[in-house]
Copies of this chain bind each other. A is one copy, B any other.
Amino acid sequence: MNDALTPSGLEARLRDLLEKRYHNLHPFHRMLHSGQCSKVQVQAWALNRYYYQAMVPLKDASLIGRCEDDGLRREWRKRLEDHDGDEGRPGGIERWLKLTDGLGLDREAVTSTRLLLPATRFAVQAYVHLVRERSLLEAVASCLTELASPQIITERMSGMLAHYDFITPEIMSYFDKRPPQAERDANFALEWVKQHAHTPEQHQAVVDTLAFKCDVLWCMLDALHYSYVTPGLIPPGAFVPKSSDA
């Protein structure tokens, strides 16, 4: 890319990238929402995805902690509130644990993260490190997968409720709340990026960061697919389904 893009040209490139590389295209996602997963495969997904949820506030606080613009800090603080909640108002992490509880997973086993697939840990940590170490523009841009998340959440929600008798609306409460939050956050971040990326190099950095973030989400599903579907080789130390749940 040699010429600077217009703001709407940048937005078009980002949306095009999401259409090609967002993890709703991954075969494991298609299995999950179309009812082709076993209960243990859904458990493995929820247990691994918990780590992503749990690290999001650390990622967001790291961004706030390096941001000199108080308006951006205030806006970004909403994300902390959404994920961590308040006394008496459970946040996103607590609602994710309703899902893992409802799937019959031991809460300590989930929150200790000791049964994660190593690839999950490495991918999520790569995301957190990018937000801590790269430019503020890249740190903001890394959340732009949220532009596509209302759609994937809606697919997951309706597909999982329709296809699995062990999934109930109550344990899916995480997914009720997220779409409007994600939409608000994604639109804010997109406008911020469009206003703050001026040079061809900055535009390329924004696009590259969104590709990186797509890789993070894709890699997590690759690892679930490899370990729990085909060839079904679980790495040493990771979650092994109890045979009674198989």
Residues of A within 8 A of B (CB): 20-21, 27, 118-119, 121-123, 125-126, 129, 211-212, 214-216, 218-219, 222-223, 225-227, 230-231, 233, 235-237
- On chain B, the residues within 8 Å of A216 by CB distance are 118, 122
Task: Indicate whether A219 sits within 8 Å of B235 (C-beta atoms), given known contacts A125-B126, A226-B226.
Answer: yes
Task: Indicate whether A118 sits within 8 Å of B125 (C-beta atoms), given known contacts A231-B230, A236-B214, A237-B211.
Answer: no
- On chain B, the residues within 8 Å of A225 by CB distance are 226, 231, 233
In angstroms, how far is the closest chain B Cβ from the Cβ of A110?
19
> Which of B27, B125, B129, B222 contacts A119, CB < 8 Å?
B222
Count identical subunits in the complex.
2
* Smallest Cβ-Cβ distance to A230: which chain B residue: B231
Asked if A233 and B129 sit within 8 Å, CB to CB, the answer is no
In angstroms, how far is the closest chain B Cβ from the Cβ of A127?
9
Task: Indicate whether A122 sits within 8 Å of B235 (C-beta atoms), given known contacts A129-B129, A226-B225.
Answer: no
Which 8 residue pairs spanning A and B have beta carbons closest together? Answer: A118-B215, A122-B122, A226-B226, A122-B126, A118-B219, A21-B236, A122-B123, A230-B231
Distance A30 CA – B20 CA, assembled complex (angstroms): 34
In angstroms, how far is the closest chain B Cβ from the Cβ of A97?
25
Task: Indicate whether A222 sits within 8 Å of B235 (C-beta atoms), given known contacts A122-B119, A215-B118.
Answer: yes
> Which of B119, B126, B211 contacts A219, CB < 8 Å?
B119
Distance A216 CA – B123 CA, assembled complex (angstroms): 12
Distance A9 CA – B163 CA, assembled complex (angstroms): 52
